[in-house]
A and B are shown apart, each in its own frame.
Chain A
C-alpha cells in the first residue's frame, strides 16, 4: 500500500509536489501521468524515501516517513522494487550479477539466489543473456533486466519511473504486459509515464499530476 497525506515537497528551483493526498491500496496497479516537470519523479522519490516530505507524510508498506529514522531507510527500500528510465544497471557486472545483487544485500543463501535469479530471467525472457554486460543488450533487454532486478526480491511495491521512456513502441508494450503479469502475482505497482496512448484503455487507475498538483485520480 502507498499512502500520501497532505504531502508537500518543493525543490529549490523546480516544482515539486503540493499538498498531495491519495492512497494506492495493496495489490493495485496505478499509472501516474503528467508532462515533464509535473512532479512525477519527485512523487516517486518520496515513495522510496529518497526525499522526505516537508509537510504531511508518506507511507509505503509498513514504513511511514514521519516515523522513519535515516538508518532504517535501506530496510524500507527492501520492500520496494524500482525500475528507472535509464535502467540504473551496473555496467561493471553481467546481467546475472545485476539481478542477484538485491538478494546478496538481503543475505539470501547462494543456492536460493541462483534459483530466484533463474526464475526471474525466465520471466523477463532473458535466457542465454545472463553473462552479457548491460552495454551488450538492447534498450528493451536492459529494461527487462532492470525489471528482473526489481522483482527478484519479491517486493510488495513496484515503482516504475518512465520505464518505457527509452524504448521503441513494441518493447514498451511488452514491458507493460510484463508489469501486468507481475501485478497478477499480488504486487502493488505504480508506473509513471507521459505516454498516455500506452496506458489508456487498460482499465487501471490513472493519477494525473500537473505542476505538482493532483488533477485526476480515477
Chain B
C-alpha cells in the first residue's frame, strides 16, 4: 500500500518538479483539445444550422386566375405529397384581399369592383433530411401542375447552400479523423519529449533495482494528471467560446438560433485527454526502457 501511495504521489510531484516540461505538455494538450472540441461543436451544429436555413426557404405558388380556392386546395394536397415538402398552406382569393388591405390599406375589391388576386400556396420544406434537398426538381414538378401560373423562389441561393451542406457532410468524417490524428501525434510527442528529458532519472531508477513497471507508473500518473488539468482548463474556455459565438449569432448576425453543446462532447474530450496522455506517457517510457 505504501508503495502504491508512493508511486501515485511521485507521479503528481513530478508535474511540479518539472514545471516547464509539464506546462508545455499541458498547454499543448489544452490547445489541441480546444481545436478538437470546437470542431466537434461545429459538427454538432451543422445540422442545426441547415435546419434553421431550410426553415427560411419559402416558395410561393401562384395559381391561374380561374383556379378556385377549392381547386387550389386540391393542388396544394398534391404539392404536399412531393418528397422533401413539409407543408403547403393555401392562401385563398379572399385571404389575398385581406393581406393586400393589411399591407396597402386599400380594399382592392372596392377599388376595382372585382378581385384580381389569385389564390396561392406557401410551400415549406423538410428541415431534417440529411440529404441534399432537390430543390430544382421540386420546383419543376410544381410548375408542371395544371392551374399553376408562377412559382416564386430563391433557387440559386438555396442550391448553393445545399451544395455547401453536402460538401461539409461528405468531408466532415475525414477532416475530423485527421484532426484527431494530428492531436494524438502532437500530444504523444510532447509527452515523449517530457519523458526523454528525464532519461537520467530513469537510468538511476534502473541502477537501484526498480522494475520496469515501477519506473513506468509515476509517468502514467503524471500523464493522467496533466490530461485532467488540461481538460479542466478546456471546459471553461469552450463555454466561453460558445457564449461568444452565440453573442455574435444573435446580436451581430441577428439570427434566431444558438449553438448547443451535447454533454457527450465533454465526456469525449475528457476521455481523449486521459487516454492520449496516459498512452503517450506509457509508450514514451516504454520506448526508453527497451
Residues of A in contact with B (beta carbons under 8 Å apart) = 48, 50, 71, 74-78, 80, 82, 88-90, 92-93, 101-102, 104-110, 149, 153
Contacts and interface: CB of A to CB of B under 8 A. Distances in A.
A107 B1 CA distance: 9
Nearest to A72: B211
A78 B210 CA distance: 8
B208 interface: yes
Given A93-B17, A104-B6, A109-B2, A77 B201 contact: no
A102 B208 CA distance: 6
Contact of B209 (A78, A89, A90, A109): A78
Chain B, interface SS category: helix
B209 A74 contact: yes
Contacts of B247: none
A101 B2 contact: no
A213 to B, nearest CB: 27
Given A90-B201, A92-B17, A92-B201, A77 B208 contact: yes
A107 B211 contact: no
A93 B201 CA distance: 11
Interface residues of B, number: 20
B207 interface: yes
Which of B2, B201, B209, B214 has its CB near the most chain A CB atoms (within 10 A)? B209
Contacts of A77: 206-209
B213 to A, nearest CB: 10
Contacts of A88: 200, 203-204, 207
25 contacts: A71-B211, A74-B206, A74-B211, A76-B209, A77-B209, A78-B209, A88-B200, A88-B203, A88-B204, A88-B207, A92-B17, A92-B18, A92-B198, A93-B17, A101-B205, A101-B208, A104-B6, A105-B208, A105-B214, A107-B3, A108-B2, A109-B2, A110-B2, A149-B208, A153-B209
